[in-house]
Amino acid sequence: MTRLVGLSGSLRQGSFNSTLLRAAAELMPDGAELTIATIRGIPLYDGDLEAAEGIPETVASLKEAIVAADGLILATPEYNNSIPGVLKNAIDWLSRPPADIKRVFGGKPMALVGASPGGFGTILSQNAWLPVFRTLGVRFWSDGRLLVSRAHTLIGGDGALSDEKTKEQLRAFVAGFTAFAQSTRSAHSAG
Ligand SMILES: Cc1cc2nc3c(=O)[nH]c(=O)nc-3n(C[C@H](O)[C@H](O)[C@H](O)COP(=O)(O)O)c2cc1C
């Protein structure tokens, strides 16, 4: 079984990015599953809090979920043509302490998707993540790209992704990323 974890960068109940991630979980290929984790409850990063109390439990358990997973998918909104602060804050906490970065993120297959009501489907936000991933040493999957624009027009009254074309793009995306995560794991266990 190939196990992926998905994180949405939006806390909004009706989030298009969370909708996209839930749809991805439904469209996973046989032999793979996508578990949706949350950034809810992660405090704002504060070095004094870290020094006094260590890593918050919400962060520590998310770190272990990532360690145990074969790959991580971020569903990122775009705010002011860049990364949304709440998701960056979560990744910043997950990168603490620095001695743990390699264990959590080093060589970890990662992929990005994003949805926006605008016409460019989070392209600038997705690009803005790349230096962060480089710094963390993840294995970023760049073969597929999913930029969901006009997201509000693609979701049905039940709050689920209803647009068939987007679903097919998402199905192909998760199939490609799953194969990548699987081959990365096989390469590691062989080596
Ligand atoms: C502070 C802020 C800045 C935003 N900036 C952009 C932007 O630069 N580009 C864009 O496409 N949408 C932008 N939006 C609109 C978001 O794409 C929209 O709110 C979207 O629904 C957020 O993702 P979610 O549905 O997963 O919460 C912005 C929204 C907020 C709140």
Q: 158-167, pLDDT tens digit by residue?
A: 999 999 999 9
Distances, alpha carbon 159 to alpha carbons 74, 75, 163, in Å: 20, 17, 12
Residue environment code for 153-182, b if the CB has 16+ CB neighbours within 10 A, otherwise e: ebbeeeeebebeebbebbbebbbebbebbb
Candidate from 18, 38, 79, 154 with most ligand 1 atoms within 8 A of CB, to mutate: 79
Q: Please count the other Cβ atoms lying within 10 Å of the Cβ belonging to residue 144.
A: 17
Could you give the dihedral angle defined by the CA atoms of residues 59, 175, 109 and 67, in that order, rounded to the nearest 10 degrees? Answer: 40
How, if at all, do strands 71-75 and 2-8 pair?
parallel
Please give the Cα distance from 191 to 187 (Å, whole number): 6
Q: 113-150, pLDDT tens digit by residue?
A: 999 999 999 999 999 999 999 999 999 999 999 999 99
Task: Please indicate, yes or no, whether the overall pTM of this predicted structure exceeds 0.95.
Answer: yes
Cβ 178 under 6 angstroms from ligand 1: no
Atom of ligand 1 nearest to the CA of 82: 8
Cβ 19 under 6 angstroms from ligand 1: no
Verify cis geometry, omega within 30 degrees of 0, for the bond prior to 43: no
Cβ 117 under 6 angstroms from ligand 1: yes
* Ligand 1 geometric centre to CA of 77 (Å): 6
Please give the Cα distance from 60 to 37 (Å, whole number): 13
